[in-house]
Amino acid sequence: MFNLTMEELTEKKGIFTAKEIVQQPEVWRKVYEDFIVKKELFKMFMNEIIEKHERIRIIFTGAGTSAFIGDTIVPELRCQGQSQYEFEAIPTTDIVASPKKYLVETDPTILVSFARSGNSPESVAAVKIAKEYINDLYQVVITCNKQGELAKNTVDDPKSFLFLLPDEAHDKGFAMTSSFSGMALAAYLLFSSDSSFTDEDIARLIESGKSIIPIVANTVDDLLSFDFKRIVYLGSGSFGQLSHEAALKMLELTAGKTVAIHESSLGFRHGPKSILNEETLVVLFVSQDEYTKKYDLDMLREIKGDGMAKVVVLMPKKDEEMETFADWLIPIEPKNDKWKNDFLLTIQYIIFAQTLALKKSLSLGITPDNPSPEGRVNRVVKGVTIYPWEN
């Protein structure tokens, strides 16, 4: 697994993280199977809401990685023409700290909570505050833990819908890996208007996910010969949002020893590009949209022209010009002409970021399954005080 034996990964305390990265395509399969079972129930749940309200605000929320799920899928959902819905992504950490700045009392709202454990103080508090403040609140909980507070709070509540991920998506490792991509896929399936997504599509996605894991593993081992001290993740649209999660994985698993930042391809010029030096690795997530890709290519040319950082490019299929400027290129090629949308690339691209963070952590002598054994940061956040809030 990732060119290491199970014994080596166990000894280095990276076995959980490694397994949870590799299992993602199978998690996707189970998420899809569960979605098919619950599809009609969810449609009935949503139709009852639509019948009562002309326009509905849908807020995707969570903390940390769980928040970045919403950030990543909202750009795709917004362009699908579902005019009765207003899709937004707002972290629970913002809602809890400043409820009135983010919640609207008179707006019918569906609060979609993402949670691996379902026990984070901010996640539980955000739902409580929203219920107290919003006149017409409904909630959808997408979680990996049936014993978590968020899941339990949906019991016998007709205004709530629970979508549970398979047990193995409740990652044992410190970093969220299969829980991230699994919950993202669940949300996409539930809220997308793309009714043409078929059994064949999920089979293609799973096959592609499985096939890129060894390619990613070999590429990561090769590029680790470059002892980078800084890493930058770039992308446009959904990939600009995905870059936040990718950077966090590196920061978490290397215990902050590797400086990791994220930015959009266009936004990088506006100050953040100052981070580039000879010890910087840039990872560019490329869109399959031909218009958007032009901006990604411009940034790639510029970075290589500066002659300092090395660049990894992940893209839907090989491109000769991008290959010219990239130090490493990983194409995620569909069997047909193209992927249905960029979202289906996001949950494949993230496998690279997770794998790179895992192997970089091991190379630094850090234990990926628990990179902060002294407890400065924890798998389920600790040390949060939730203060009473009155409307």
Q: Do the Cβ atoms of 171 and 179 come closer than 8 Å?
A: yes
Q: What is the pLDDT of residue 29?
A: 98
Residue-averaged pLDDT of the chain: 94
Q: Which fold would CATH assign to domain 6-191?
A: Rossmann fold (3.40.50)
Is the pLDDT reported for residue 306 higher than 90?
yes
User: What backbone phi and psi angles, to 5 degrees, belong to 140?
Assistant: -120, 125
pLDDT class of 159 with cuts at 50, 70, 90: very high
The reported pTM is 0.96
- Of 299, 334, 293, 329, the residue nearest 316 (C-alpha): 334
pLDDT class of 390 with cuts at 50, 70, 90: confident
* For range 284-307, the mean pLDDT: 96
pLDDT class of 333 with cuts at 50, 70, 90: confident
Is the pLDDT reported for residue 375 higher than 70?
no
Q: What is the pLDDT of residues 134-150, one digit of tens each?
A: 999 999 999 999 999 99
User: What backbone phi and psi angles, to 5 degrees, belong to 294?
Assistant: -60, -40
Strand (E) positions, the chain?
A: 56-61, 85-89, 109-115, 137-143, 160-164, 230-235, 259-264, 280-285, 310-315, 328-331
Is the pLDDT reported for residue 336 higher than 90?
no
- What are the distances in angstroms from CA 311 to CA 130, 230, 232, 282, 306? 43, 12, 9, 5, 12
Q: What is the pLDDT of residues 168-177, one digit of tens each?
A: 999 999 999 9
Assigned token pair, 338:
């193209």
- What are the distances in angstroms from CA 373 to CA 20, 64, 265, 369? 20, 19, 35, 9
Q: What is the pLDDT of residue 335?
A: 65
Query: Which of the pair, 336 or 138, is modelled with greater confidence?
Result: 138
Q: What is the dihedral of CA 171, 148, 68, 375, to 10 degrees?
A: -60
pLDDT class of 380 with cuts at 50, 70, 90: low
DSSP strand pairing (259-264 vs 280-285): unpaired
User: Which CATH architecture describes the domain 202-363?
Assistant: 3-Layer(aba) Sandwich (3.40)
Lowest mean pLDDT among 17-26, 94-103, 141-150, 313-322: 313-322
Is the pLDDT reported for residue 5 higher than 80?
yes
Is the pLDDT reported for residue 337 higher than 80?
no
Is the pLDDT reported for residue 203 higher than 80?
yes
Q: What is the pLDDT of residue 374?
A: 74
Q: Where are the domains of the chain?
A: 6-191, 202-363
Lowest mean pLDDT among 52-56, 264-268, 317-321: 317-321
* For range 100-124, the mean pLDDT: 96
Q: What is the pLDDT of residue 59?
A: 99
